[in-house]
Each structure stands twice: as structure tokens, then as C-alpha cells.
Amino acid sequence: MLGAYGQIVPSPDTLAVLSLAPTLNSLDGPSNVSHASTTPTTNSQPTLTEMEYYNNYAAAMYCQYELNNLSCTPCQKFKDDVYDHTVIMNNNTDTTALVAVSKTRQEIVVAFRGTMNIWNIVLDVWTIAVTYSNTPPGVKLHAGFHAATMSLYSKVVANVGYLRSFFPTYKIVILGHSLGGAMARLTQFYMLALNQFPGAKYECYTYGEPRSGNQAFVNYMNSQTIKTARVVNNADIVPHVPPTSLLGTNLLGDYYIHCQPEYWYIDENNQRFCNTTFNEDPTCSDSLGPAYSIADHVTYLNVDYNPCTFGQPAPWAAIPLSIFQPVGTIPPLPGFMVNFNVAAINFLKVKLGLIGL
């Protein structure tokens, strides 16, 4: 939630995560999950200039009122490059995407808006990793992030396809911050897995992205020949949820892992790409646990997201649990999942056979 002057003030749900996540991360067996050696990655790494440029798109997505005419402050960093653009919204799920085309840069950009209340999705369904149809073997995805992605996917694909009919050689750049980062990652995944646009050249940039899938998902994404970066600002807590596991088990449905490569930004004099031989480099942002911070989630690469979020109703609107049932092919959620404070305990009881669904 926001304070009187637009600062981020942790909500009760956020405080619950801040208190619980460090405990889970200390018990989730990082030596054999998140910090284990990964399969070789064939992704290429972008320049800092590229990451900074697309970060302006990610920040602009929170300027809900100014998107149609690209009048927001971060919009001015890319507006002159944009030949045409379309804003796509789903009012039922409170999700937004921007599809823009640039003739000067020869690219089609797909940007997703995050939400200041990402905890609604993380907390309500964070223990459910689900296998979906038309995906590579073994791939499981976070149910909430998948629902948010599917709420816009068909319209995003239709708009990108329309633009590619005029600009078939343009690269497709997909990006987002927070929940928007997870949606960007899963949109990229489906476009690749379904061979949505044969021959297309892709790039993917995420900022403060939470974990979105399991090891099979990560292995698939790391094996792609795309330019990508998962930017983490200092001690931002969001990239560390959902935890890789619950008490060292796969009771979350599977083990959540991040895609490569991580770009860890502390300040202008201390930033780097992390070691890609690990699932998650233990010497990068993971090294700061359990002292993670929600404050580090709202500033990325020296761009403050707060001015856009202040006065904008949509970015911090709660995403209710009920949206996840009609969107996509997601099974009904257990009733106890609506309350985070009892969810983990009850889920353990279900797995142990002490209570039923």
C-alpha cells in the first residue's frame, strides 16, 4: 500500500511474507536446489544500456492514465522511438500490456504491468505448481502467474502477429517488472514452446521477477538462443518468492527456480552478471538473505517507480482469488488457500493426510 506521500508502506500480507520467507529460504535446501549446478545456458547477455532502456518501458506500465498517449515521465525515454502502440487491458484480472512497434529500432516491444499488490498472487496460490498442456515434458508453472499471463496472451499474440505481417524481420522484445516480469517470462516461454512466430528473434528483460516455474521450465528457457537478463535490485525480496521449496520438500508442487542470467545491481559502482553455472548464484542477491527488502522493489537501475504508482488506482488494486478459476486451465483452488497465514500449515496437513481437501 502507499503512504501519504506515495511511499511504499508494507501491507499486513507483505509483512507476513517478510517474516516468513527468510525462514523458508533458510530451510529450503538451497545447496541442492537453487544453488545447484545448472545445465549449460545458451542465452546471450544484453548490455547495461539495453537493460536501462527497456526498464523505462517497465516503469511506464504503472502510469495507467498516460499510456494511451505515452505522456508519462519514463515514456519520454522511448516515446520518440515508437511508431505505433496499443494498450491491452483485462479488467476482470486487472492486468495490462503494451504492444509497441519501433521502426527506428526495428523491434516490436511487449511490456507487462506489474502490481503493487503482487502478494495477492504469490500468497493465494504460491503452493501450486501446475503442468499445462502444450508444454515441454516435466514443465510446471506457478498457477497464479500463469493465470495472469493467459488473461492477456491471446490478444498480445494477435497484436504481435498483426505487426509482424507488416514488419516480419523485426525482433520481439518482451519485458516487465514484478508480476509483469513473471508474465513476460511466461509469455516468452509460450511463444517459444508453441513456435508462435517461426524465425522470430527474441529478447526478454525482467526486473524484480518472482520465481515462475520448476527446474524443467528453467532448463528449457536456459537452452534458448535469446538475449535476456533477469535484473535484481540489491536486496529486493520479490525475486526470492515463492521460496524454492517448503521445508526442503516439493510440497509446493515442485521446486521453484529462476532462469538465467541474473544481473545484480547494488549501485552504479557495484553491479554485474552473476555466475551462470548455478541455478541461482549464491554470491549474488541470494547472499543477502534473510535481510531482504520490499523497498528495493520499487527502484530499478535508478528509475523510481513510485511517482507513476501514486494516484493510479489500477497498479495496487487487489487481484482477487476468484479470477484464477475461470482464466486458463487451472483447477479449483482449495478454500484454505485464500488466507496465507494458514495456507502453509494446512497444505502440510493435506500432504501428511491429516486433513482432506
Integer Cα distance of 88 and 86 in angstroms: 6
Highest mean pLDDT among 102-106, 290-294, 328-332, 346-350: 102-106
- Whether 279 shows a pLDDT value over 70: the answer reads yes
pLDDT tens-place string over residues 257-268: 999 999 999 999
- Whether 218 shows a pLDDT value over 70: the answer reads yes
Residue with cell 511474507: 17
- pLDDT at residue 353, rounded to an integer: 52
- pLDDT at residue 105, rounded to an integer: 98
Q: Domains of the chain: which residue ranges? A: 12-351
- Whether 23 shows a pLDDT value over 80: the answer reads no
- Whether 4 shows a pLDDT value over 90: the answer reads no
- pLDDT at residue 325, rounded to an integer: 34
- pLDDT at residue 243, rounded to an integer: 81
Confidence band (pLDDT; 50, 70, 90) for 273? very high
| CB-CB neighbours of 216 under 10 Å | 17
Q: What is the DSSP string of 120-136?
A: HHHHHHTT-EE--TTS-
- pLDDT at residue 20, rounded to an integer: 57
- Whether 310 shows a pLDDT value over 60: the answer reads no
Per the prediction, the chain carries an average pLDDT of: 80
Under 8 Å between Cβ of 330 and 322: no
- Whether 8 shows a pLDDT value over 90: the answer reads no
- Whether 175 shows a pLDDT value over 80: the answer reads yes
Under 8 Å between Cβ of 95 and 158: no
**SS3 of 73-110:** CHHHHCHHHCCEEEEEEECCCCEEEEEEEECCCCEEEE
Average pLDDT over residues 67-84: 96
Residue with cell 486451465: 329
- pLDDT at residue 352, rounded to an integer: 52
Range with the lowest mean pLDDT among 41-55, 236-250, 275-289? 236-250
pLDDT tens-place string over residues 121-158: 665 555 678 888 888 999 999 988 998 999 999 999 99
| CB-CB neighbours of 304 under 10 Å | 14
pLDDT tens-place string over residues 314-353: 433 334 444 333 333 333 323 322 333 333 444 444 445 5
- pLDDT at residue 277, rounded to an integer: 86
Residue with cell 494516484: 311
Domain 12-351: homologous superfamily in CATH: Alpha/Beta hydrolase fold, catalytic domain (3.40.50.1820)
User: E strands, the chain, where?
Assistant: 84-90, 95-102, 107-112, 129-130, 141-142, 171-177, 202-207, 227-233, 262-267, 270-273, 299-300, 303-304
